[in-house]
Amino acid sequence: MRIAEAVRTLSFPVASGSHATMPHTSRNDPGFIHIFEPGSDPAAPPLLLLHGTGGTEHDLLRLGRAISPGSALLSPRGQVNEGGALRFFARLAEGVFDPAEVAGRTRQLADFIAAAAARYGFEPRKLIAVGFSNGANIAASLLLLRPESLGGAILLRPMVVLEQTAPAGSLANRRVLILNGSTDPLVPPDHSERLAASLRTGGADVTITLLAASHGLTPQDLTAAKAWLHAA
Ligand code: MLT
C-alpha cells in the first residue's frame, strides 16, 4: 500500500501550527533527498521517518509530529524506483528479497544517518526510526546490520527480510515496537515473532502488538506508538 493512502485514512488530530518550522529539503548530502525539521523539545528523541513503497519523504511528517510533537524529524526519500514507486531497497517480487541488495542499501542509509547526525547535531544513539512497510523493513535491517545508527524503532507492518539474527549485545538498551495487523494479507502471521526473535538475540527489548487492522495504518497505530514512546 502507498503510504500516502494509508496516512490519509488516519483520523488523529494534528495540532495546527505543527509545521510552523519550514521543512528543509536538501540534496546536499550523501545521496538521499530528505527533509529535516528541527525539534522544539531537547528531551524528545529525534525521529527517522521511513516511508513505504510508493511514498516520499513528506508522507510520515504528520504521523511523526503526532507521535512526538517536540522531536526533530529526519525524513529521507527512498532511492529505488520500482515502476514509479519509490522504495528503500529493490525486491525480486512481492515478499521476495535479495540479501545483498538489502545489505548494500542499508549501508547507504546508515552512512546518510551518520552524515545527517553530524550536520544537524543529533546523536544517532537517541534516534528512533518510525518506518512503515518497506520503511519498517529497512529500519529492521539497520538494527541488524548497522545497530550504531539507531536508538530504537517503531516498526509499522514489518516482515522478515533478512534471515539472520543480531549479534549478541549489539542491540543492548534498544527498544523496538512491532505493530502488525491481524488481517494483513502482505505480512505472514509468524513474521512478527520471527523478527522479534532475531532482534532479541542482540539484546533488544521488543514489544509486539497485533492490531485489528490490515496493512494500512489506523488510529490505533498512533495510540500504540505514542504509548510505547512515552513509556521509555
Ligand atoms: C511493501 O509493499 O513495501 C512490502 O510489503 C514490504 C517490502 O517490500 O519491503
> Which residue ranges in the chain fall short of pLDDT 70?
1-30
Query: What is the CB < 6 Å shell around ligand 1?
Result: 52-53, 91, 133-134, 137, 186
Angle between helical axes of 134-145 and 191-200 (0-180°, round to 10): 20
The pLDDT assigned to 31 comes to 79
The pLDDT assigned to 6 comes to 40
Report the side by side order of strands in the sheet with 34-37.
24-26, 34-37, 73-76, 47-50, 128-132, 152-156, 175-181, 205-211
Global pTM? 0.89
Domain locations in the chain?
Answer: 3-11+22-230
3-11+22-230 carries CATH number 3.40.50.1820: yes
- 126, amino acid identity: K
The pLDDT assigned to 29 comes to 52
The pLDDT assigned to 26 comes to 55
- 204, amino acid identity: A
The pLDDT assigned to 203 comes to 98
Atom of ligand 1 nearest to the CA of 134: 9
Q: How far is residue 148's CA from residue 168's CA, in Å, rounded to a whole number?
A: 14
Site to substitute for ligand 1 among 81, 133, 192, 217, most atoms within 8 A of C-beta: 133
